[in-house]
Structure 1
Amino acid sequence: MALSADAILGAEDTQIKTVDVPEWGGEVAVRGLTGMERDAYEASIQQIRPKPDGTREVVFVRDNARAKLLVKCLVDPDGRRLFKDTDAPALGKKNGAVIDRLYDVATELSGMSDAAQDDIEGNSEAAPSGDSSSSSPETSDELSENS
């Protein structure tokens, strides 16, 4: 049976998984990202940087990337975010093993496979050269196809 647009848009496809975190004394709920949230997250951890030969390369900005994802994915029992994006530095100071464990769950629920992570981390082809030499994050359609 072919689905209609209304059926697709009306489907509840958000995944939430409860994870025991004994280091914190309880459980936390981890929610997968929506498509828009995932694109925004991936764009926030990438930069296009110029190379000496005039080409550009996509670089994965590792600075607190796990906590930046988790502030978007840790939710209360009603599915509302526990943290604001600005809370990522504080969350990033928590136990690295816990952060890594929760990050793995968040990436799984968000459909971020190992291959997709390789693309995000800059292990894919370099960006094409162009007139711009900006080192700020870029969110063009060209990058979206690679992420």
Structure 2
Amino acid sequence: MALNRDSILKASDIKTETVPVPEWDGDVILRGLTGEELDAYQASRRQVRNAGTKQQELVLIQDNARASLLVKCIIDESGERVFTDQDAGLLGMKNGKVLDKLFDVASALSGLSDDEQEEMEGNSETPTPDGVSSSSSPEPSAAPAPSSSEASAPVS
């Protein structure tokens, strides 16, 4: 049976999950983002540098990405947000391992793809509109360069 407009809009489809956080002596309730919130979050994490030039690149803004998502997803028992967007900096000062665990759950509830989660965690390169990587990290060398002390140290 095909759904009509009213049945789609009335459907309760925002999922929640309670996550035990022993480091904080309790549980945290997370909810997934709405489509509008997800779009806004994703847009807030991307920036185009050198727009309109041949050097244009899409850059992923990773600064406090976990806490920036979590302030939108942590709710109380009545379903109200616990934090405001402006609290992301404060939340970001909490234990990184805990934030990472909560981020994974919030990402899954919100529909962030595995690739997007990896990008936020810094495990992947972000392609630019022309397909060129925007990673500003240097390529790792095949072998570490000897230090000056190693190069001049006498051999015994």
Q: Compute the TM-score of the two structures, normalised by the length of structure 1.
A: 0.79
Identity of aligned residues (%): 51
Q: Give 1:118 deviation, angstroms.
A: 5.8
Q: Give 1:60 deviation, angstroms.
A: 0.4
Q: Which amino acid aligns with 1:12?
A: S
In structure 2, the gaps of 5 or more residues are: 131-156
The aligned counterpart of 1:13 is: 13
Q: Which amino acid aligns with 1:127?
A: P
Contact 1:75-1:81 within 8 A present in 2 as well: yes
Q: 1:64 to 1:81 in 2, by over 3 A?
A: same
Q: Which amino acid aligns with 1:126?
A: T
Aligned to 1:108, the other structure's residue is in SS state helix
Q: Give distance in 1, aligned partners of 2:75 and 2:62.
A: 23
Q: Give distance in 2, aligned partners of 1:22 and 1:119.
A: 27
The aligned counterpart of 2:129 is: 127
The aligned counterpart of 1:56 is: 56
Alignment of 1:62-141 (within 5 A): 62-117=62-117, 123-127=125-129
Give CA deviations for 1:81-127 in whole Å, capped at 9, x if unaligned.
Answer: 00000000000000000000000000000111213446777845422
Choose 39-48 or 108-117, whichever is displaced more: 108-117
Q: Give distance in 2, aligned partners of 1:13 and 1:29.
A: 16
Q: Give distance in 1, aligned partners of 2:70 and 2:76.
A: 13
Contact 2:76-2:82 within 8 A present in 1 as well: yes
Give CA deviations for 1:37-56 in whole Å, capped at 9, x if unaligned.
Answer: 000001111100128x6242
Q: Give 1:74 deviation, angstroms.
A: 0.2
In structure 1, the gaps of 5 or more residues are: 129-147
Higher relative contact order (CA 8 A, sep 6+): 1
Q: Give distance in 1, aligned partners of 2:76 and 2:85.
A: 16
Aligned to 2:81, the other structure's residue is in SS state coil
Q: Give distance in 2, aligned partners of 1:118 and 1:57.
A: 19
Aligned to 1:29, the other structure's residue is in SS state strand
Q: Give distance in 2, aligned partners of 1:93 and 1:124.
A: 26
Instruction: Report the number of matched residues.
Output: 127
* CA radius of gyration, larger in: 2
The aligned counterpart of 1:45 is: 45
Q: Which amino acid aligns with 2:10?
A: G
Across the aligned residues of Structure 1 and Structure 2, the Cα RMSD in angstroms comes to 2.0
